[in-house]
Amino acid sequence: MNKDVHLAHEWTEPADGFRIITRGTVTVVESIALVERGVKHAFCTRCGGISEGLCENLNISSRERDDPAAVAENWRRLSQAFSLPREHFVTVSQVHGTRITHYGNDPVGKEEPEADGIITALPGRACAVKTADCLPILLYDSCKKAVGAVHAGWRGTAAGIASRAVTCFKEIIGSSPSDVMAVLGPSIGPCCYEIDEAVATQINQREANLPALHDRGKGKWTFDLTLANERQLLNAGIRREALCSVRLCTSCRKDLFFSHRRDGEKTGRHLNFIVL
């Protein structure tokens, strides 16, 4: 494991190429490169909804013991802000694995399939994943006209979910990796993400992840989710100039984000989506 990797102390402002903007009532993080290409997308913050308590306030998950009426209103506000009907957001039941599902002409039913990513070439359908520290990755192929969204926690990262997503674009959409753009959103940063030896050992099994581990001694490491997934995407054929990361820490920015590590299990979830 690389002990010389530069360790950021905190990620509190978005990197160049990103902006924080309010649309309707909801505040989101956007990639300027995707905006310039006319691709509707967002990494949602916690701002703009009506939930209370630990899920305050734009929680979009009904699994967090939130008031169902508040969650429904949060979805309504999000849908209105982006002029997208609620039923056009396509989500999955996330299980911290590497399965990527395809939303095609024979779409998934009402039951969410167990997966941690979704891709589609259908216009008007928003591929969406939920996060509260894990890394959301949005993918866009401008040539084949396809999009995808990936949920990458440490387990998915250790198993190579970012690489798997690129493979799915090749096998299902017919994409060339060099035509795919990857945008990595807010997640817990290495400033706040400490892991133990058992987790580090699993992450260490994939060579691309090695520079993202920083040995702190006494069986503790810090882990840079963003860096590990960047390297997986590059190794899978994504061009460096087509890869951008916001590097905003969900744990540092309590004003903007939910954080499972910071707040425990009873916290809200953000929505991260991209649509043709």
Give the CATH number of the domain where residue 118 resides: 3.60.140.10
Query: Looking at the domain assignment, is residue 137 inside a domain?
Result: yes
Q: What percent of the chain has pLDDT over 70?
A: 93
Q: Give the β-pairing of 270-275 and 40-44.
A: antiparallel
Q: With 60 as the cut, is the pLDDT of residue 11 above it?
A: yes
Average pLDDT score over the chain: 92
pLDDT at 234: 97
Q: Residue 153 belongs to what domain range?
A: 18-275
Provide mean pLDDT across the span 159-169: 96
Burial-class residue 88 by CB neighbours within 10 Å (0-12, 13-18, 19+): middle
Q: What confidence score (pLDDT) does residue 2 get?
A: 42
- The answer to the question of residue 6 being in a domain is no
Is 124 part of any domain? yes
Whether pLDDT at 38 is above 60:
yes
- Judged on CB neighbours under 10 Å (0-12, 13-18, 19+), 100 is buried
Given a contact cutoff of 8 angstroms between Cβ atoms, the answer to whether 58 and 45 are in contact is yes
Q: How large is the average pLDDT for residues 187-211?
A: 91
Rounded to 10 degrees, the C-alpha dihedral 181/234/272/19 comes to: -70
Q: Measured in whole angstroms, how far is the alpha carbon of residue 40 from the centre of its chain?
A: 15
Domains identified in the chain, total number: 1
Mean pLDDT of 196-205: 91
pLDDT tens string 65-104: 789 999 999 999 999 999 999 999 999 999 999 999 999 8
pLDDT of 106 higher than 80: no
Q: Mean pLDDT, to the nearest integer, of 51-55?
A: 91
Residue 251: pLDDT over 80: yes
pLDDT higher than 80, residue 6 = no
For residue 205, what pLDDT is reported?
A: 86
pLDDT score at 5: 41
Segment 137-163, tens digit of pLDDT: 999 999 999 999 999 999 999 999 999
Residue 115 has pLDDT above 60, yes or no: yes
Would you mind telling me the total number of residues written for the chain in this entry? 276
For 270, other C-beta atoms within 10 Å of its C-beta total 28
Taking the C-alpha atoms of residue 21 and residue 123, their distance in angstroms, rounded to an integer, is 24
For residue 8, is it within any domain? no
Ranges of H-type helices in the chain: 32-36, 68-82, 154-159, 161-168, 197-203, 225-235, 260-263
In a domain, 149, yes or no: yes
Express as a percent the part of the chain with pLDDT over 90: 83
The answer, yes or no, to whether residue 8 has pLDDT greater than 50, is no
Report how far residue 47's alpha carbon sits from residue 23's, in angstroms, rounded to the nearest whole number: 11
- Whether residue 114 lies inside any domain: the answer is yes
Identity of the amino acid at 80: Q
Lookup result for tokens 């508040």: 70
Helix (H, G, I), strand (E, B) or coil at 221: strand
Please state at what angle helix 161-168 crosses helix 225-235, rounded to 10 degrees: 40
d(CA 156, CA 226): 12
Distance CA 119, CA 73 (A): 27
- On whether residue 36 sits in a domain, the answer given is yes
For the entire predicted model, the pTM comes to 0.94
Tell me if residue 152 falls in helix, strand or coil. strand
Whether residue 257 contacts residue 46, with contact meaning beta carbons closer than 8 Å, is answered with yes
Within a domain: residue 187?
Answer: yes
pLDDT score recorded for residue 210: 87
